Amino acid sequence: MRLPLIVSLCLWLAAAEVGAGEVRLLIQNSPLAGSQYYAVGDYWEQLRVGDPLQLTREPDNRHDPYAIRVEWRGHQLGYVPRANNRALAAALDAGECLTARIAELNRHPDPWRRVRFEVFVGL
C-alpha cells in the first residue's frame, strides 16, 4: 500500500527543482512548435539551454483557442504544441504561476527537434 505513495513522492522530488527559496515542479517537456516561422533562426547563436521563456496565452488565436505563444527576450520563438497546450492554457487562465526555460538546443534539420522547453509550476 505504501510503495505507490513512496514511488510517487520520489518521482515528484526528482521532478521538483529547488532554487533560492522556491520549489518548482516540472509539469511539461515539449518540442517548440512553429519555430521555423518565427525568430529561432534569427537568434540561434544567442539562445542558451536554461534561458527563461515567457508563455503568453492567445485565446483569440484563429487556429487554436488554447494557443500559447513562447517568447525569448520579447521575441516570439513559436508555440506550445497543440497536442500539449490544453492543460497549460487552463493553468494560465486560472492564474497559475508557470515558468518556462529552454531545455535543449539541437541543429537538427527537422524543426520539431531543434528546441525543447520545460514548463514548471511554482509550489
What pLDDT is recorded for position 22? 75
Q: What is the DSSP string of 50-118?
A: T-EEEEEE-TT-SS-TT-EEEEETTEEEEE--GGG-HHHHHHHHTT--EEEEEEEE---SSGGGTEEEE
Q: CA torsion sign, 58 to 64 to 68 to 69? A: negative
The contacts of residue 58 (CB under 8 Å, 6+ apart) are 64, 67, 68, 69
**In terms of pLDDT, which residue wins out, 39 or 17?**
39
Residue range 38-93, pLDDT digits in tens: 989 899 999 999 999 999 999 999 999 999 999 999 999 999 999 999 999 999 99
Confidence at 17, pLDDT banded by 50, 70, 90: low
Q: What is the pTM of this model?
A: 0.82
Report the domain count for the chain.
1
Range of the domain at 58: 2-122
- 4 has pLDDT over 90: no
Confidence of residue 20 (pLDDT cuts 50, 70, 90): low
Q: What is the pLDDT of residue 9?
A: 47
- CATH label of the domain that carries residue 98: 3.30.70.2330
pLDDT above 50 (res 105): yes
Grid cell 494557443 — which residue? Answer: 67
Question: What is the structure's pLDDT at 39?
Answer: 85
